[in-house]
Amino acid sequence: MFFSDLIASWKGLKKFGKLPGEQRRVVFYSEGASNLKFLRPIMEQLVSGYQLDICYVTSDRADPFLVQNLEQIRTFFISSESALIIFFEGLEADILATTTPDLGTFHVKRSWHPVHYAYIQHSVVSSHMIYRTGAFDKYDSILCAGPHHINETRQWEKLLGLKPKQLFEHGYAPLDAIHEVMPERYEPPGGIEDTRVIVAPSWGPDGLLETVGEDVVGNLLDAGYRVTVRPHPRTRQLNPQKLETLNTRFAGNAAFSMEDNVTGFDSYLASDILISDWSGAALEFALGLERPVLFIDLPRKINNPDYQRIEATPIEIFIREQIGMIIDPENIGQISAAVETVIENYSGFIPAIREARGKWIFNFGESGKKGAEIIFALLEQVSGQSNSSDVSG
């Protein structure tokens, strides 16, 4: 697989390089198919609403866009690190839009050529605690999910004396997609045997699956709940043995399932309550479906040790009690009772969840349209700067 991907990557790079400049003015880059839910709504709106030709470069061989014959969206597969380095450093385009943070830190480098780099937020969570230090510093613009992203970014820029980026009120595509397919009428479960629980945590050494996952799933199954585990893609990459352990222990229980494909929302729609740690999935589930979350109070996921240098409490901290309940990991043995309590108070969470969504999410239901509007405006802006430069030269 390594050599076939290597060969395919260099073919993809060569194919991209042969495109005339006017056909690769706007380039979208995706690390994998799971990022399509953030990029696809914008791309489709750019094609249908603005008749733009755009390029889509993916590092996922299984990305469904690679086999879709879309006339105005040209697709390319580039996954090998050597080919990606050449692709990014030599990129000639007006705009590169992506959900990949840490621009300039790893293999995703800024080009030698003038390119405008636009970051599309791929989580509702904070931009300063869960992401690495400087994850967004080298972007020219950020399409923000909510006002907290604007506040955090401006404070961070001021702290470090960075050049202010262009920040846009965008929104969050997964919430729109989830809400669009949400049933008009939803009845909370009548009892334990009817309650469907989804466990969808973050990833890392302090994550739910990595620490208390077996106890959580075991206690819930013993209590009679139906349980689906939806692991983060990074857990599958970095800690597959943990998922194998869960499968080995619980696969024989008809009430247990492990989700292999996390690009869709079927498991969300089929669940009554979500259990998580510090994952952005919790906010997607609650704000999209208006259903509560039970948070296990594990250590915070802190990838930026300097996050407290700005006066902005991360949304994933202060919003938890609005959209659900919190349980101490020392009380995992009581988790089935905690789920029952949440279900009993189900209707009380809905107004608080709607209020939180209205306050913290931009353009709910319209993020694809708004994102395309932003990218097209940036394209005109960049083109105007280029023309001015040509004239002045």
pLDDT for the residue 86? 95
pLDDT for the residue 392? 33
pLDDT for the residue 29? 98
pLDDT for the residue 386? 63
| All residues at 6 or more sequence positions from 143 whose CB lies less than 8 Å from its CB, including other chains | 118, 119, 120, 121, 168, 170, 371, 374
Among left, alpha and beta (phi > 0; psi -120 to 50; other), residue 119 is: beta
Give rounded-to-5 percent helix, strand, coil for the chain.
50, 15, 40
pLDDT for the residue 273? 95
Picking from 289, 254, 283, the residue whose alpha carbon sits closest to that of residue 269 is: 289
What pTM does this model have? 0.91
- Beta-strand relationship, 116-120 and 95-98: parallel
pLDDT for the residue 393? 32
Crossing angle for the helix pair 280-289 and 346-360, to the nearest 10 degrees: 110
C-alpha count within 13 angstroms, C-beta hemisphere, residue 381: 14
Q: pLDDT under 70 in the chain at which residues?
A: 1, 185, 386-393
| Cα 340 to Cα 338: distance, rounded to the nearest angstrom | 5
pLDDT for the residue 67? 86
